[in-house]
Amino acid sequence: MNPSNFLEINPEVSKALNDKKPVVALESTIISHGMPYPQNVETALAVEDIVRDNGAVPATIAIIQGKIKIGCLKEDIEYLGKQGLKTTKVSRRDLPIILANKLDGATTVATTMIAAAMAKIEVFATGGIGGVHRGATKTMDISADLEELAETPVMVVCAGAKAILDLALTLEYLETKGVPVVGYKTDELPAFYTCESGFKVDTKANSAYEIANIWSAKKTCLPKGGMVVANPIPKEYALDKKMIDLTIEKAIIEADKKGIKGKDVTPYLLASLMELTKGESLAANIQIIYNNAKVAALIAQEIKY
């Protein structure tokens, strides 16, 4: 079976790709699992507007009735927003099951990368990537996002890895897999809600043009695998590092007590953070994806297709 049989590409996105115009992929887990309705829909549509305002075509990716939609329509986004947690969160291992059974699915970072690569989209904006979970030396809980970055040729613009993870081991894993981590106007890996983590990126780039050049060299010499562009949250929206670290520790202890494991950990911790920070973490999350969408569009414009 031809993989394209599972794809349904929005005409606007298809035309942009055929005309060698910049396109930015966007995930759908943030819609179904990232925040409540109607804020999730409002945010997703605002992100698409930001991509357009900065010179690229947005392609929100999701699975609707067994079809990978590359460029969801407004009604698709509304549908996913209303369905919320009823929609399956789809990572790499879930993808064939969801497609074969013609189900709905919200794409994670890993699955959005797979779908973007199938459609020949090179730039993807998200909030934060998954990574090595704290305590992974015992649990072996490592996000499929990292393996996808090692295999799939898509650039991921993000605010680093989610702050609930073990950032040091996440960087070690990416180094082992040969995935470049480029800081956008920073030489430090952002920690999602904060600009600093204490860990260095591989290199700092001061412009979208520099990042596009690094990507071009990578594609030419190392065609396998992706690249991380670490784009810090704007300082005016960053949370206090000490406060967020203590809040995360508290949420992790509660998750452990409740026996929450695997792919249920991240949504639980993010929901707990929203509650414990009285909504500050959600507001920061929204600003993160807005900022990443803008930077991704600027980079996409500089890539030679």
| More confident of the two residues 137 and 285 | 285
Whether the pLDDT of residue 151 is over 90: the answer is: yes
The answer, yes or no, to whether residue 264 has pLDDT greater than 70, is yes
> Tens digits of per-residue pLDDT, 85-136?
999 999 999 999 999 999 999 999 999 999 999 999 999 999 999 999 877 7
pLDDT of residue 241 exceeding 90: no
The structure's pTM equals 0.94
| pLDDT number for residue 263 | 64
Domains present along the chain, CATH in parentheses = 3-302 (3.40.1790.10)
- The confidence band for 61, taking pLDDT boundaries of 50, 70 and 90, is very high
Tokens of 116: 């973007």
For the annotated catalytic residues, the residue numbers are: 27, 162
Q: Does 256 score more than 90 pLDDT?
A: no
Q: At residue 41, does pLDDT exceed 70?
A: yes
Among residues 270, 259, 257, the alpha carbon closest in space to that of 128 is found at 270
Total Cβ atoms within 10 A of residue 19: 9
> CA-CA distance, 188 to 241, in Å (whole number)?
14
- The span from the CA of 196 to the CA of 50, in Å, is 25
Cα 262 to Cα 104: distance, rounded to the nearest angstrom? 21
Task: Please give the Cα distance from 289 to 283 (Å, whole number).
Answer: 10
CA dihedral 124, 284, 87, 247 (to 10 degrees): 120
Query: How many angstroms separate the CA atoms of 249 and 266, rounded?
Result: 13
Is 262 a residue whose pLDDT tops 70? Answer: no
